[in-house]
Structure 1
Amino acid sequence: MTESFTERFAARLAGYGDRPCIEFEGRWFSGAEIAGYGSGLTGLLERAGLDARAPVGLVVRNRYAHAAATIGLLAADRPVVMIYSFQSPEAIAADIERLDVAAVLADPQDWTDPVTAAAEGIGAARVELGARAPTLAGVGVPRPRRPIGGALAILTSGTTGAPKRFVVRSAVLEHTVFSVTGGQAAPDEPPELAYWPLGGIGGVCQLVTAIYVGKRMALLERFSVPAWVQVVKTHRLRRVGVQPAVVRMLLEADLPAADLSSLDFVMCGSGPLDVATRDAFEQRYGVPVLTAYGATEFAGSVCAWTPDLYREFGARKRESSGRVLPGVRVRILDADTGAEVPTGQSGILTAQVPLLGPDWIRTTDIASIDADGFITLHGRADGAINRGGFKILPETVRAVLISHPQVRDAGVVGVPDGRLGEVPFAAVETVAGARVTEDDLLAVIREALPAHHVPVAVAFVDELPRTPSLKVSVPGVAALYRRAS
């Protein structure tokens, strides 16, 4: 009988033994400790009378206990539904009530009165994820729960609206691992640096991949430049995954190049990275930036750059997000007719990932694919602004804004207009000491783009509103316009 992904994952976890597995807040936890945390947790769930396939809800934080709980649940083949902790207690409680999970797992600080009442209201068992061991705070009322149909229900980034959950089957996690490693990771490599939110696909990719290939992992509760650099320097990391916002932060920090000298490359995903920032980072630190494109519904990447591809094509295809991964098929379709467009033309990206099944998955991303199989992203179709019949892609306006030397980052959204339906509005973060004005930026846009692309207003903010995965939040930028009007 063929061994399942879950069985292989559990075996890899057991294979650590007393070797270090996860570093958190300066302490290494062994594989045996993590396996013990997981078995203790599953034992509590059994004591509470939960069916083995009943989903449990995890109010997730980037802490050792939450990572160990996720690993333990996956190894035990217990379905887990992620709940973001980056919400008010009332919002967490509403999620619990809506999900109707059999148990709720949360850090002691998240067991607020509203969360406790919500768990008790649906008859869910209550588990406190202590720093060293989980404890059962309430048994709940065992009853049949609707299965989720997979191993994990992870959260989308929430860039354009409230985060949604996407169910990932355990077999699909094979693709997750391959999209991170390209099949070339080894246990004796330096640790994986994990700081992406564990409730989303980025954090899950890092967590699952590290255990599956037997690597160590350095876990950060949240990103900061000093903490990130400290891990890179201490462990002499050779590669690390980053978001576009992090590339900009590292560039702006103007670090000594020696701080990043161990890196062979950084892999950048979770959103578009403009060519100017990519070029500036590479010139400043001498570290190649290999971009990738994926989405939650693909449980990993669809295309990516590799070091070999970078050496051959990097200078000629700077705007591309990389070549389609082996085994993945991509089509670019006309948004109106659904017909496949010729090579090089833009349309809606659809992809077929074998481990996900035979269906073609249609995204809302506008892309093109060239004759060499490289994909270039051009924005999101669902974010297009219809200004009196003229279509505007926010990324087109944003690209002009961030080309200004005094603009660190920007967000562009459509806002209601009584006459034209929608008009573009922009919010920008500027670099320290910037003296740029709204008129300056509008003039730059007028010079670069047709008149209908010019925003009705530009707001200057100290920090753009962001999702937990550090993407600019569209609802958050729209709220800035409402507050200003």
Structure 2
Amino acid sequence: MTTHPLSAHIASVLAIDPDAGAIDFAGDWTTWGQLGSLAGSVSALVTRLNPEPTPRTGILLRNTPEHVAAFLGVLLAGGTVVVINPSRGDERTRDDIAALELPVIIGTEADLDKLVAGSASTSVVRLEGIPAEPVVVTEATEKPTEQPSSEDASSPVAVHMLTSGTTGPPKRVELSYDMLAHSVLGEPATRIAVPTTLSSGAAIVNAPLVHIGGIYRILQCIVAARPFALLGRFDLDEWARAVRTHQPKAVSLVPTAVRMVLHSDLTRDDLASIKVVTSGTAPLSVEDSEAFTDKFGIPILTSYAATEFGGGVAGWSLPDHKKYWADKRGSVGRASGGAQLRVVTEDGTVLGPDESGLLEVKPGQLGPDADWIRTTDLGKLDADGFLWILGRADQAIIRGGFKVIPDVVRDAIESHPAVAGASVVGRPDDRLGETPVAVVELRPGATATSEDILTHLGARLARYEVPTELLIVDTIPRTPSGKADLRAVRDQLAGAIR
């Protein structure tokens, strides 16, 4: 099998300066040589344990240097990383692993002991940390069942990614080597060359590796030969330490993290090095975006992406933000990365500027011959090509004939000064069909009653948009990407009224 340009690029970067620091993890550095050595060992094991052209390897991914090395090792082998989230709940994760029938599974001892049952068709590899070598715990004695794949022979699947599953059962999406290369290296004709020296300055990676944002962020750093600080999860104090230590010019924060930083005691001096914040994965309200800029003097560039697209398809650039933000505040920016966007009716009629409908996308990552992909997002495009996401069509609540968009209600709730976050879902109603209900998480030290927040909403929403129940909770259940887990939110509400 011919080595894919992405794999070759990664291998070249890992060899540039083996003694230099690659990953800062809680103040301890892993060198490029240690990262490359473990990645090479994993690559060799994967190739031996599953000698297929594109060996499938499940990884119980966590945000640690050894998991980064394991991920890179499978790519060096030309294999497929099957992402397994060990934090989804033990029973669900065990069921997921059993259904996947993986030839090889990699993880730490604690995760393997708890989540992986013995199987004659699965080899199990234990990560011992860095620089320790991985250990083969058990070696398969039978060949696993052949799994169907839609991969193209010219571009095998690099990552079998599990979507967040905020509204229903998570589904798996195949990301090909070509898709990843397009996103992190650019188009073939203008693809970036392998660096000859390491980049100066370190980035910060706080997105989870089980989410597409974390994988792209890691790969962006690796292909640019840029060291990075890796956070096990987003922790305000650890993030602030990394910012003070490495003085990055740009950082990426999901909306929940934006709000944590916004309502913290951090000052402009603490974030003095940062010139821009990028944000995606979930909607960020205009109020939060502008409050962040007012407090820290840093613009937030929002973007629009999905796992199915293989990355971003729209976003703000800094020049666009400086020129257009005042007139187009709330937009997620313009088409990017060669993507095409359009808004249509349910029957496929293309709508004109500023008309609301279903968003369809031709992602640049899928090449010029890609088909239009219809999303479940309601949106509109203006005459200048700026996109507004108005909410999820499949989450719209029809209350007595009136359409309620949960994101609109959530934005209004989160504009209350005591609120740290909110989630809005529909509840069946015998008379009205469905009504909006909400759970609310307060900021540390803040006080507010449900009545206080409902009064606040009275001046900001139509009467039919105001939730019929608003429950204040200690913590809103969220997915690793920071989105509210709507199924868990419904369970939370149901448990509170039993």
- What band does the TM-score fall into relative to the shorter chain? over 0.9
Distance 1:349 1:141 in 2: 48
Write out aligned runs for 1:133-212 (5 A).
133-143=133-143, 145-146=146-147, 148=149, 149=151, 150-177=157-184, 187-212=198-223
Write out aligned runs for 1:308-347 (5 A).
308-334=319-345, 336-347=346-357
Instruction: Tell me, yes or no, if the aligned pair for 2:425 and 2:438 is still in contact at 8 Å.
Output: yes
Q: Greater CA deviation, 258-267 or 365-374?
A: 365-374
Deviation of residue 16 (structure 1)?
4.3
Instruction: Tell me, yes or no, if the aligned pair for 2:63 and 2:233 is still in contact at 8 Å.
Output: yes
Write out aligned runs for 1:106-117 (5 A).
106-112=107-113, 115-117=115-117
Deviation of residue 363 (structure 1)?
1.2
Query: Does residue 363 in structure 1 map to residue 363 in structure 2?
Result: no
Write out aligned runs for 1:246-395 (5 A).
246-334=257-345, 336-357=346-367, 358-395=370-407
The amino acid across from 1:143 in the alignment is: K
Deviation of residue 340 (structure 1)?
1.1
The amino acid across from 1:341 in the alignment is: L
Task: Give the 3 Å change call, closer, same or farther, for CA 409–33 of structure 1 in structure 2.
Answer: same
Write out aligned runs for 1:68-147 (5 A).
68-112=69-113, 115-117=115-117, 120-121=118-119, 123-132=121-130, 133-143=133-143, 145-146=146-147
Deviation of residue 256 (structure 1)?
2.3
Distance 1:271 1:231 in 2: 24
Deviation of residue 239 (structure 1)?
0.4
Distance 1:95 1:420 in 2: 38
Distance 2:174 2:110 in 1: 27
The amino acid across from 1:19 in the alignment is: A
DSSP-derived class of the 1:68 partner: helix
Instruction: Tell me, yes or no, if the aligned pair for 1:387 and 1:420 is still in contact at 8 Å.
Output: yes
Deviation of residue 75 (structure 1)?
2.1
Identify the residue that residue 422 of structure 2 maps to in structure 1.
410
Distance 2:50 2:421 in 1: 51
Unaligned 5+ residue runs, structure 1?
none
Task: Give the 3 Å change call, closer, same or farther, for CA 365–183 of structure 1 in structure 2.
Answer: farther
Identify the residue that residue 229 of structure 2 maps to in structure 1.
218
Distance 2:362 2:179 in 1: 13
Distance 1:190 1:253 in 2: 25
Deviation of residue 78 (structure 1)?
1.0
Deviation of residue 161 (structure 1)?
2.7
DSSP-derived class of the 1:314 partner: helix
Q: Deviation per CA, 1:181-201, whole angstroms, max 9, x where unpaired?
A: x99998524222112110111
Identify the residue that residue 466 of structure 1 maps to in structure 2.
478
Instruction: Tell me, yes or no, if the aligned pair for 2:50 and 2:104 is still in contact at 8 Å.
Output: no
Deviation of residue 409 (structure 1)?
1.6
Query: Does residue 15 in structure 1 map to residue 27 in structure 2?
Result: no
Distance 2:263 2:94 in 1: 39
TM, length-normalised to structure 2: 0.91
Distance 2:120 2:392 in 1: 38
Q: Greater CA deviation, 379-388 or 309-318?
A: 309-318
Instruction: Tell me, yes or no, if the aligned pair for 1:48 and 1:142 is still in contact at 8 Å.
Output: no
Given candidates 421, 429, 432, the residue that maps to 2:441 is 429
Deviation of residue 254 (structure 1)?
2.4
Instruction: Tell me, yes or no, if the aligned pair for 1:13 and 1:212 is still in contact at 8 Å.
Output: no
Distance 2:8 2:276 in 1: 32
The amino acid across from 1:215 in the alignment is: R
Distance 2:447 2:93 in 1: 41
Task: Give the 3 Å change call, closer, same or farther, for CA 91–3 of structure 1 in structure 2.
Answer: closer
Q: Deviation per CA, 1:278-306, whole angstroms, max 9, x where unpaired?
A: 11111111111111111111121111112
DSSP-derived class of the 1:469 partner: coil
- Give percent identity, aligned residues only: 35
Task: Give the 3 Å change call, closer, same or farther, for CA 283–122 of structure 1 in structure 2.
Answer: farther
**Count of aligned pairs between the two proteins:** 479
Distance 2:226 2:246 in 1: 13
Task: Give the 3 Å change call, closer, same or farther, for CA 141–325 of structure 1 in structure 2.
Answer: same
Distance 2:382 2:200 in 1: 34
Distance 2:180 2:258 in 1: 27
Deviation of residue 152 (structure 1)?
0.3
Instruction: Tell me, yes or no, if the aligned pair for 1:54 and 1:101 is still in contact at 8 Å.
Output: no
DSSP-derived class of the 1:404 partner: coil
Distance 2:41 2:20 in 1: 20
Distance 1:36 1:44 in 2: 12
Identify the residue that residue 34 of structure 1 maps to in structure 2.
35
Identify the residue that residue 494 of structure 2 maps to in structure 1.
482
Task: Give the 3 Å change call, closer, same or farther, for CA 40–413 of structure 1 in structure 2.
Answer: same
Deviation of residue 452 (structure 1)?
2.0
Q: Greater CA deviation, 274-283 or 16-25?
A: 16-25
DSSP-derived class of the 1:260 partner: coil
Instruction: Tell me, yes or no, if the aligned pair for 1:333 and 1:349 is still in contact at 8 Å.
Output: yes
Distance 1:385 1:122 in 2: 48
Distance 2:170 2:365 in 1: 24
Instruction: Tell me, yes or no, if the aligned pair for 1:294 and 1:300 is still in contact at 8 Å.
Output: yes
TM, length-normalised to structure 1: 0.93
Q: Greater CA deviation, 99-108 or 438-447?
A: 438-447
Unaligned 5+ residue runs, structure 2?
152-156
Distance 2:344 2:209 in 1: 33
Task: Give the 3 Å change call, closer, same or farther, for CA 183–379 of structure 1 in structure 2.
Answer: farther
Task: Give the 3 Å change call, closer, same or farther, for CA 423–327 of structure 1 in structure 2.
Answer: same
Instruction: Tell me, yes or no, if the aligned pair for 1:298 and 1:353 is still in contact at 8 Å.
Output: yes
Instruction: Tell me, yes or no, if the aligned pair for 1:190 and 1:238 is still in contact at 8 Å.
Output: no
Q: Greater CA deviation, 284-293 or 310-319?
A: 310-319
Instruction: Tell me, yes or no, if the aligned pair for 2:437 and 2:469 is still in contact at 8 Å.
Output: yes
Task: Give the 3 Å change call, closer, same or farther, for CA 90–480 of structure 1 in structure 2.
Answer: closer
Task: Give the 3 Å change call, closer, same or farther, for CA 230–298 of structure 1 in structure 2.
Answer: same
Q: Deviation per CA, 1:293-337, whole angstroms, max 9, x where unpaired?
A: 111111211111122222222232221111211421101111x22
RMSD, aligned CA: 2.3
Deviation of residue 477 (structure 1)?
1.6
Identify the residue that residue 399 of structure 1 maps to in structure 2.
411
Task: Give the 3 Å change call, closer, same or farther, for CA 128–448 of structure 1 in structure 2.
Answer: same
Q: Greater CA deviation, 306-315 or 341-350?
A: 306-315
